[in-house]
Amino acid sequence: MTQEQVLARLKQILQADFRIAPDKVTPEATFRGTLAMDSLDVVDLIYLVSREFGLKPDVEAFADLDTVQKVVAHLSQKAAQG
């Protein structure tokens, strides 16, 4: 799965579950700042993307992933590992 595909799926999740406009979801966007998500939203997002990508939810793995690009890179890497 390419990073563009991962980004598209992440945008869909953010729009459907958090009502965040897709045009706000840029690679440099931060979840707590740019996207105005609180800590509970971020935990919910971790569980939603984990389910979407068939991963075990691991809050610790996402602890330092504060931008959209970092999450996309992480998910792309995990998806490639199978």
Residue 52: both structure tokens together:
């979407």
12-71 pLDDT, tens digit each:
999 999 999 999 999 999 999 999 999 999 999 999 999 999 998 888 989 999 999 999
Question: Which architecture does CATH list for 3-81?
Answer: Orthogonal Bundle (1.10)
40: CB partners within 8 A, 6+ apart: none
Model confidence band, residue 81 (pLDDT cutoffs 50, 70, 90): confident
**pLDDT, position 38:** 96
Taking CA 10 as the corner, what is the angle to CA 4 and CA 38, rounded to the nearest 5 degrees? 140
Output the pLDDT for position 79. Answer: 83
pLDDT band of residue 9 (cuts 50, 70, 90) is very high
pLDDT of residue 1: 85
Tokens of 9: 């799926």
